[in-house]
Structure 1
Amino acid sequence: DADSDADTDPTGDLIFSEISDSDSNAKFVEVYNAGPTTVDLTGWTIERYANGSTSSTAFDLSGTLASGEMLVLVQSVNSFQSMYGFAPDGDDAFVFANNGDDVLELRDGGALVDIIGVVGQSSGAWDYTDSSARRNAGVTSGSTTWQAGEWTIDDWNNATPGVR
């Protein structure tokens, strides 16, 4: 319908809001729509660079993400549901198998929108091994370079998937 198309922003203000290297393969990546409109996820991808690699593996996003909503993507649906008590929005056993030092990029039509880490490096201020990294509440736009001051690294037991 024409009205819903008019309210959909293809570029939007999507950001990574949380990532966790939790126990029992309940690892997850959370994407938040900080913008005022619904975002069409066609053409959006999450790219994972494992262990200092300069080659990535991509996960294509689909559907839409409403303003103020989160998309929770996991390594293992069963492990995630068992730990957090709700169904995630998607899964990929390889792309979301974060081990705490992988770099993730959020891309829209190939253009870099947000990043966790530094491509080609396997550790640094973003290292969340056996932990979680949560975007600070005041951050509402992505960054194309790693910004350590925008993140809080905490124990994975304190992860809050689906909550901003």
Structure 2
Amino acid sequence: MKHFLTSLFILLSVNLSQAQCTDLFFSEYIEGWSNNKALEIYNPTNQSIDLSAYSISRYSNGGTSPSTTQLSGFIEPFSTFVIGLDKRDPNGEGYEAPMWDGYYTYTDSITGEDITTYNSENDLQSKIDLFVNPIYYFGTNPDSAAAFPTSLYFNGNDAITLEMVGGTGAVIDLIGKVGEDPGAAWTDDEGNYWTKDHTLIRKSTITSGVTGNPITFNPTTEWDSLSVNTFINLGFHDCDCFNNNHLVENTKSINVFPNPSTMQNITIKNNTAIQSYSIQNKLGQIILHKYVNNLNTIEIPAPNIKGIYFLSIKDLYGIKAETIIIQ
């Protein structure tokens, strides 16, 4: 019975999501200090995709004329690809200040020696798959502007699109609203900045991009907000775009106990590092979702209502599911 319920959950998840999981979309947005600018794209399909067929455009300060950068490289199935602003000169200053690489040098107050430390959480450079836009063109010559696009020089009030190259140039995803200048940034209902000095992560329930210019752009609808200069989630994305070849019930490599549980904490052991986990009820509603720091063993709170639930974890190789029973 347990395995039947798990298989049914997997089948329902696949059928409900396959209709929309057909093209790339933005999965993370980094608008950090100085030149800490990056965009993550997610591939929800089971095919490798050539990124030379796609471009990123920036519509600055409510403008309707974009600066466009054609992409390059390949994005693997159910994987991410991170594009970053090409500012890597360690001696750069001001507008040329380097994107953070995790290294920090200070002078010891006692010895007077320079000491360099490294913090991987502050290393954005190592997470970039494609660096673009090394030169910011300030002039008005259209040929030079096309030769030196500024797509990744976005601030909190710039709309950003992911588009197909050539043909119709169809927009397949959009952050913000083209033609609208929101001031410093787009905000939530309480006026808090979301697109300035923040990291945004696409909610796992989003399975396709925004293809039309919205009447109102409310970032809280599809995005979760993290503090400025948060880079640790780049390189993977938790998405409900399940696929038969990607979602695996593997009771040998995932160990959940106690199960059944009596509303106490539940321990999950996996043979590889866990990136995130979700718990859904029988209606398919996500009641708990959390990113974890790549641990093989985690302890999570059990649901506080008796019943049958569906646990899914994501690791480097995909998504694994297990039924849990709360007595």
Short-chain TM bin? 0.7 to 0.9
Cα RMSD (Å):
2.1
Match of 2:160 among 85, 104, 113: 104
1:67-86 pair list within 5 angstroms: 67-78=77-88, 79-82=99-102, 83-84=122-123, 86=126
1:2-151 pair list within 5 angstroms: 12-78=22-88, 79-82=99-102, 83-84=122-123, 86-90=126-130, 91-93=132-134, 94-109=150-165, 110-123=169-182, 124-125=186-187, 127-145=194-212, 146=214, 148=219, 149-151=221-223
| Total equivalences in the alignment | 153
Larger Rg: 2
Q: Runs of 5+ in structure 2 lacking a partner?
A: 1-21, 89-98, 103-121, 135-149, 189-193, 238-327
Q: Under a length normalisation based on structure 1, what TM-score does the superposition of the two structures give?
A: 0.82
Deviations 1:22-76 (A, max 9, x none): 1131111111111121112232111111111111001101222111221111123
Alpha-carbon distance between aligned partners in 2 of 1:13 and 1:76, rounded to the nearest angstrom: 26
Alpha-carbon distance between aligned partners in 2 of 1:26 and 1:132, rounded to the nearest angstrom: 10
Kindly state the Cα deviation for residue 111 of structure 1 after the two structures are TM-superposed: 0.8
Preserved CA contact (<8 Å) 1:20 1:98: no
Q: Under a length normalisation based on structure 2, what TM-score does the superposition of the two structures give?
A: 0.43
Deviations 1:117-161 (A, max 9, x none): 110112234841111221111212112135631112331233422
2:227 is the counterpart of 1:155: yes
Preserved CA contact (<8 Å) 1:49 1:56: yes
Moved more, 150-159 or 31-40: 150-159
